[in-house]
Chain A
Amino acid sequence: MLLLLLGIIVLHVTVLVLLFVSTIVSQWLVNGGHTADLWQNCTSGSVFHCLTSSTNEWLQSVQAMMILSIIFSVLSLFLFFCQLFTLTKGGRFYVTGIFQILAGLCVMSGAAIFTVRHTDWHQASENTSYGFAYILAWLAFPLALASGIVYVILRKRE
């Protein structure tokens, strides 16, 4: 039981770390020495300097989705600890699970919007590829969903 509990918490924290890293790190799009993320476009050469991103509506919605997923995931972790101490025996962690699933859906829609719409604010060129932050965002989606489902299925033992 303790092992299961630990595993769940580790999974949740992993999701949170993935969300934070993918939101913050400037590696959504990579093109040589040029990287771009949700907040700024950076050029690393002799001088490393960054410019703030455009104010495109779609980009802003991606930002909003990522922030929302972080908020939901943090809230879910908080609720999990609350429910761990207040839930009656045999109860399910519905609220925790719902918030974690919401976080997963948010990060999915954010990454999906980015995939479809990133050419709107970032002129695509031949050798532009997605960076690791983008991949982490997609990775966070199934993990968050899985952790959310585990919460819903899980019954409190003791």
Chain B
Amino acid sequence: MGTSPVPGYPMGLTGLCPLAGPSPTSSIHVYTQREVYGTVGSHVTLSCSFWSSEWISEDISITWHFQAEGSRDSISIFHYAKGQPYIDDVGSFKERMEWVGNPRRKDGSIVIHNLDYTDNGTFTCDVKNPPDIVGKSSQVTLYVLEKVPTRYGVVLGSIIGGALLLVAVVVALVYLIRYCWLRRQAALQRRLSAMEKGKLQRSAKDASKRSRQAPVLYAMLDHSRSTKAASEKKAKGAPGDSRKDKK
């Protein structure tokens, strides 16, 4: 497939290797969604993108056709040529259509405002980028409904995702709390054991005079359940008393 297709070959062959270099028969590809849903009175974007092997020329033209449901006629509702969009100003889409595309970005999208049931039908996006003009146009079917049906899997996915996320958050929270609690416990234990050692060496009075931190620690242990302010106050106010109580 390395060789670029020779002019005159059947189209099917060139279609197989669209990445082949510029050649007179390389085709243009137009992409749209298959189906679009909209509610009455709302607006809907009919997106259309394309791929062309050629440079986007000044002569690029984008055309939207509309075929109403049950109708055999296809009417042209939008045309873009020579850098100028031409919007239907007589038909049913008069003053309801907006051009939001940008040919330089390979985008030929339009927006239809104020949807009505008569807009049900098939929209065809056709792009020509001379000399790249061979290729299929793409169709999108618009369904205007009272209420847009939920897309498949949206509710399903959100419920499963939400539940799993909730469980993960709860588990993480439990672990965090446990971790913090264990660390605090361990720290208290360490300080307590250090205190015990200190007590063995010197008398309690000496300890209270020398180290200013010891009473505070005792206060914390004694009143760990009471408010912090109260314990602090007590510790500051009468460090000796609280220690005596403990003993």
Q: A residues near B, CB below 8 A?
A: 52, 55-57, 60-61, 63-65, 67-68, 71, 102, 106
Contacts and interface: CB of A to CB of B under 8 A. Distances in A.
Give chain B's interface secondary structure class.
Answer: helix
Given A56-B150, A60-B150, A67-B160, 4 more contacts: A55-B152, A60-B154, A63-B156, A106-B163
B155 A64 contact: yes
A71 B165 CA distance: 13
B151 interface: yes
A60 B163 contact: no
B185 to A, nearest CB: 17
A115 B159 CA distance: 19
B109 to A, nearest CB: 26
Contacts of A64: 155-157, 159-160, 163
A61 B159 contact: yes
Interface in B130-157: 149-157
B186 interface: no
A114 to B, nearest CB: 14
A67 B154 CA distance: 14
A66 B156 CA distance: 10
Contacts of A63: 156
Contacts, number: 36
Interface in B159-185: 159-160, 163-164, 167
Contacts of B155: 57, 60-61, 64
A60 B160 CA distance: 10
A67 B164 CA distance: 11
A55 B160 contact: no
Please classify how large the interface on chain B is, using the bins under 10, 10 to 19, 20 to 34, 35 or more: 10 to 19
B160 A68 contact: yes
A55 B149 CA distance: 7
A38 to B, nearest CB: 10
Contacts of B153: 60
Name, among B150, B151, B153, B155, the residue most crowded by chain A CB atoms within 10 Å (CB to CB). Answer: B155
B164 A65 contact: no
Contacts of B160: 64, 67-68, 71
Contact of A65 (B149, B159, B167): B159
B150 A57 contact: yes
A22 B76 CA distance: 52
Give the top 6 A-B pairs by smallest Cβ distance, nearest first.
A64-B159, A60-B155, A60-B156, A55-B152, A64-B156, A57-B155
A98 B155 CA distance: 25
Nearest to A67: B160
19 contacts: A56-B150, A57-B150, A57-B155, A60-B150, A60-B152, A60-B153, A60-B156, A60-B159, A61-B159, A63-B156, A64-B155, A64-B157, A64-B159, A65-B159, A67-B160, A68-B159, A68-B164, A102-B167, A106-B163
